């Protein structure tokens, strides 16, 4: 699982061509020198960096996906939405050993929205818990005093307001890194995404 995970959007026809490529064709696509990169145990070049491949077919980054998806006790199952990209098993395996590079079904957008909504609800419900109830978080750890929780939440909201209107991407409304803004971004992406002409790609790095 990648440390950071992203959703990209790619033209369906362009990705269809990439799916059939072997390693040498992928290097030809990126127009880079494979000898400057790692070789496999047989002395053959490994596939090029995944982001270079996506950029050459005009893939656009949509959103960085929260690591909270993969925290303990998370019921989000990425495998429900993924499909392999590459025809050649060796290439597919290479890109998915330490990170990910997979097609994801459009339904993942609804799944992410619902996941983030559940996190927001849980967060605000925890803010309402009074100290007299000895409140605990979702992992069973004691929560900080209510006043500290409220102050921390307000400071966070005020801080991220500085980034609300700084997005330069047509796909992203805001780069403010709070679940609320992720929900708005995902709803916006869902309205713009055309599944007949475009494909969603999940990546990790």
With a CB cutoff of 8 Å and minimum separation 6, the contacts of 74 are 68
Which secondary-structure segment (H or E) carries 28?
Answer: helix 23-30
Q: Report how far residue 53's alpha carbon sits from residue 68's, in angstroms, rounded to the nearest whole number.
A: 27
Which secondary-structure segment (H or E) carries 62?
Answer: strand 60-65
The pLDDT value given to residue 1: 45
Q: Report how far residue 75's alpha carbon sits from residue 138's, in angstroms, rounded to the nearest whole number.
A: 13
Residue located via tokens 């790609």:
201
Q: What is the DSSP string of 104-127?
A: E-THHHHHHHHHHHHHHHHHHHHH
The pLDDT value given to residue 104: 95
Q: Report how far residue 191's alpha carbon sits from residue 201's, in angstroms, rounded to the nearest whole number.
A: 17
Alpha helices in 72-175 (DSSP H): 89-95, 107-128, 146-160
Q: What is the pLDDT of residues 28-46, one digit of tens each?
A: 999 988 877 777 777 778 8
The pLDDT value given to residue 65: 87
The pLDDT value given to residue 14: 97
Token representation of residue 125: 């419900």
Q: How many CB atoms lie within 10 A of CB 26?
A: 22
Rg over alpha carbons for the chain, rounded to the nearest Å, is 20
The pLDDT value given to residue 142: 92
Q: What is the pLDDT along the chain (205 residues), one digit of tens a residue?
A: 446 789 999 999 999 999 999 999 999 999 988 877 777 777 778 899 999 999 999 999 999 887 666 654 466 788 889 999 999 999 999 998 877 899 999 999 999 999 899 989 989 999 999 988 888 887 889 999 999 999 999 998 898 888 787 778 899 888 888 889 899 999 999 999 999 999 999 998 6
The pLDDT value given to residue 169: 86
- Phi and psi based region of residue 185 (left: phi greater than 0; alpha: psi -120 to 50; beta: remaining): alpha
The pLDDT value given to residue 74: 65
Domain boundaries, the chain: 5-204
């Amino acid at each position: 699982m990648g440390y950071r995970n992203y959703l990209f959007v790619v033209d369906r026809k362009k990705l269809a061509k990439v799916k059939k490529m072997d390693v040498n064709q992928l290097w030809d696509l990126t127009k880079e020198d494979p000898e400057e990169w790692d070789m496999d145990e047989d002395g053959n070049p490994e596939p090029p960096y995944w982001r270079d491949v996506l950029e050459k077919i005009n893939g656009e980054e949509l959103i960085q996906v929260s690591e909270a998806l993969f925290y303990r006790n998370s019921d989000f199952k990425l495998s429900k939405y993924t499909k392999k990209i590459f025809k050649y098993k060796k290439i597919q395996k290479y890109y998915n050993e330490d990170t990910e590079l997979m097609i994801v079904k459009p339904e993942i957008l609804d799944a992410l929205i619902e996941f983030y909504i559940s996190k927001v609800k849980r967060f605000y419900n925890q803010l309402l818990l009074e100290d007299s109830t000895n409140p605990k978080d979702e992992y069973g750890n004691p929560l900080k005093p209510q006043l500290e929780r409220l102050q921390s939440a307000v400071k966070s909201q005020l801080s991220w307001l500085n980034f609300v209107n700084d997005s330069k991407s047509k796909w992203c409304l805001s780069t403010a890194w709070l679940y609320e803004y992720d929900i708005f971004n995902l709803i916006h992406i869902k309205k713009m995404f055309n599944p007949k002409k475009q494909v969603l790609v999940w990546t990790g790095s």
